[in-house]
Structure 1
Amino acid sequence: MKTITTTEELARFCEDARGHDYVTVDTEFLRERTYYAQLCLIQLAMPGKGEDTAVLVDPIAGDLALDPLYDLFRDESVVKVFHAARQDLEIFHVDGGLIPRPLFDTQVAAMVCGFGEQVGYETLVRKVARASLDKTSRFTDWSRRPLSEAQKKYALADVTHLRQIYEYLAAELARTGRDKWVAEEIEALTDPETYITRPGQAWKRVKTRNTSPRFLAIVRELARFREGYAQSRNIPRNRVFKDDALVELAATKPQSAQDLGRSRLLLREARKGEIADGIIAAVKAGLDCPEAELPRPDKARDKPQVNPALADLLRVLLKARTESYGVASKLIASAADLDAIASGARDVPALSGWRREVFGSEALRLCDGEIALAVQGNSVETVPL
């Protein structure tokens, strides 16, 4: 198996790849000790069975720039094929400032083609490629060199079988006319905003029952400081302080190092130096925030007034429609989406795009009392009223 360690070798492979319709891509990375993923290995394969059609690209052991790969990613005549692409795309967006286009995600395609919820790569290899994977190297340290032969074999399998899986799913989507459904789903994956975390918006991920605007202002400033500090030093945000400590700080409002010393949840390292100074400054900023600039509770978090009977009927309808179409139900609507529809919300993703065709239009008719559900044999059918 070939390992690329120079820019020139990478350029030659990428130039050859341009002669094909697609290239399969995967990465190995570490993220436990850093804010941003540490790229350890890139796997690439183009159609064919020759030894040079699938390679490992080593950004650690080699002296290479990834520019040739990024040029290939920009070439819209070549489809870039990933499985569960989100984390891989984030790496390339952070490192190279781009997102590969056009993109094909076999996990999304498999869910559309009836392979179930969040189908794993191993399942597709077994069902489509009729092969098995040795997963013993999955959780190894990919930053250590040299890589073992077992690691290389495992990594390469993530792109070699992907060729057959892609060709099968692409043909199935074309046959059923569902390629446009997958294209809608991939729009979110190719949106750069998906991979940008802005410190000023980080507070929205913090779970708290206290909805006081002043309290939320302190949460916002603490989360802003933590996110910016973690990004600038490339460390996990929980290494600065965890969410439970953040909520505690927002409640106790420490204004001095002595106050910080009374915290039950704050790490010892955060009670002094830059982090301590940042916490105190963030609390002050939250307390001093003008009334007009205070954050307000997210009304979307409020539990809607759900019609439970209607929500149950929508669940039955969703199951019937997804079984009929062979599409994973979670790809269409979550339990929260169904509750929202049953409470009267109409800005739910399940009611637009291809989801409306499969489920949304019938769901609205059910809500409006235009249809009923009836059991016919082993299936559930809609009946006009």
Structure 2
Amino acid sequence: MTSWIDRPDDLSDRLSRWTGQPLVALDTEFIRERTYYPQLALVQLAVPGEILLVDPLVAGMDAALRPLLEDPAITKVMHSASEDLQALQRGCAALPAPLFDTQVAAAMCGLGAGLGYQKLVEQVTGVQLAKGETRSDWLRRPLSDSQKEYAADDVRHVHALHEYLDRELAARGRHAWLRQDAERALHNAADDSDDPFPHLALRSAQTLDAEGQARLARLLRWREVQARRSDKPKSWVLDNELAVALSRRPPRSLSEFHATLDRHPKAPRKARGELWDVLSAPLAEGERDIPLAQGDSLDKARIKAMQQAVAAVAAEHEIPEGLLCARKHLEALLAGRGWPAALEGWRRGLLEPALGPLLADG
């Protein structure tokens, strides 16, 4: 049975009947194309035999959802939860803990990295799901019948996935792996602090010298503040390509600056004066003291050897290489920036014996 819930009291009443349920399937629909923060548009909840489609646009619905999200006795089962967590944190000021992510669990069970929900459902249950509303406008009201059916399908089979994956994780002794990844995902969603070194996320930063990277880091920090303040996508404030170009060859005058922006199709029209002030100010000594994106300047032979070591560990444990370690984390290790937080826990336990000798060789 599927029910549309647009009254907070209605939701509280329904959830009170779920007391004692150990698992609740959870999904969200959100819109983020025109904003910095995700706009929570729908919350889907399910226990065996019942699906609730909850309208979070209704005043007070966030407070009605919060007790379930924060109930430590109920495991919330989601698929590919990271962006949903951000939407829930923004829309409900709460996160679903404890969490069981079926996409991560599937990778840990050797079913493949980054499996989509439809593909995993078909692989585990044999059911083929429709994909028709993937790009739908979930903020419109009323939702169409096809939107509601699509949304209900997103939680309809989650309990079956959990039953299968929970058994497979137990057989492999990997429940602790999943708990660690879930706790990290929840921590990351709760942490709203700015990245102190945002330039490291741009591959093109590797083409800049040290001063250029320092300028780029400054521009990207300014962009983050502006995007949060205006609730606009970061690329709307300052495009990556333009940020790198300005950092590589800073205009020598205000007129040259405007001419450079006028030639760029995605250049900002507003806040140009503030952007010029940020760009033209001399670099302080502290701004130069940052880790540099090195990439191509790193020892390619050692990177390749490290990748081969990761591949060997992944093959030994029958998990995807991408689940175990990304290239950017190897680059951070080789650059001497220490073990990234993303590799702490079970990953470091598997990788350190293989990568330690390669790092020591340098």
Tell me if 1:328 matches 2:325: no
CA distance in 2, matches of 1:351, 1:151: 38
2:225 alignment partner in structure 1: 228
2:127 alignment partner in structure 1: 131
In structure 2, relative to structure 1, the CA distance for the partners of 1:354 and 1:153 (3 Å cut) is same
User: Counterpart of 1:294 in 2: which secondary structure?
Assistant: helix
The structural deviation recorded for 1:319 is 4.4
The structural deviation recorded for 1:37 is 1.1
| Matched-pair contact (CA < 8 Å) for 1:122–1:133 | yes
Provide, for residues 317-348 of structure 1, a one-character-per-residue CA deviation record: whole Å limited to 9, x for no partner: 65454344332222123345567778999737
1:39 alignment partner in structure 2: 40
In structure 2, relative to structure 1, the CA distance for the partners of 1:325 and 1:146 (3 Å cut) is same
1:293 alignment partner in structure 2: 286
Provide, for residues 30-67 of structure 1, a one-character-per-residue CA deviation record: whole Å limited to 9, x for no partner: 11111111111111112x22xxx21101123x444211
CA distance in 2, matches of 1:100, 1:92: 8
Where do 1:101-140 residues align within 5 Å? 101-140=97-136
| Matched-pair contact (CA < 8 Å) for 1:90–1:195 | no
CA distance in 2, matches of 1:356, 1:227: 31
TM-score w.r.t. the length of structure 1 is 0.80
Q: Of 251, 259, 262, which aligns to 1:261?
A: 259
CA distance in 1, matches of 2:190, 2:72: 21
CA distance in 2, matches of 1:183, 1:226: 34
Provide, for residues 276-299 of structure 1, a one-character-per-residue CA deviation record: whole Å limited to 9, x for no partner: 121122124x32x43x22234524
Where do 1:133-152 residues align within 5 Å? 133-152=129-148
In structure 2, relative to structure 1, the CA distance for the partners of 1:312 and 1:86 (3 Å cut) is same
1:218 alignment partner in structure 2: 215
TM-score w.r.t. the length of structure 2 is 0.85
Letter in 1 for 2:222: F
Unpaired runs of at least 5, structure 1 = 370-385
Tell me if 1:74 matches 2:70: yes
In structure 2, relative to structure 1, the CA distance for the partners of 1:227 and 1:323 (3 Å cut) is closer
The structural deviation recorded for 1:235 is 1.1
CA distance in 1, matches of 2:323, 2:109: 11
In structure 2, relative to structure 1, the CA distance for the partners of 1:201 and 1:18 (3 Å cut) is farther
In structure 2, relative to structure 1, the CA distance for the partners of 1:224 and 1:341 (3 Å cut) is closer
User: Counterpart of 2:228 in 1: which secondary structure?
Assistant: helix
In structure 2, relative to structure 1, the CA distance for the partners of 1:334 and 1:217 (3 Å cut) is closer
Letter in 2 for 1:14: L
1:354 alignment partner in structure 2: 346
2:95 alignment partner in structure 1: 99
| Matched-pair contact (CA < 8 Å) for 2:35–2:231 | yes
2:84 alignment partner in structure 1: 88
In structure 2, relative to structure 1, the CA distance for the partners of 1:364 and 1:329 (3 Å cut) is same
In structure 2, relative to structure 1, the CA distance for the partners of 1:126 and 1:80 (3 Å cut) is same
1:277 alignment partner in structure 2: 273
2:241 alignment partner in structure 1: 244
In structure 2, relative to structure 1, the CA distance for the partners of 1:192 and 1:18 (3 Å cut) is farther
| Matched-pair contact (CA < 8 Å) for 2:200–2:292 | no
Q: Percent identity?
A: 28
Provide, for residues 148-170 of structure 1, a one-character-per-residue CA deviation record: whole Å limited to 9, x for no partner: 11111111111110111012111
| Matched-pair contact (CA < 8 Å) for 2:89–2:189 | no
1:379 alignment partner in structure 2: none
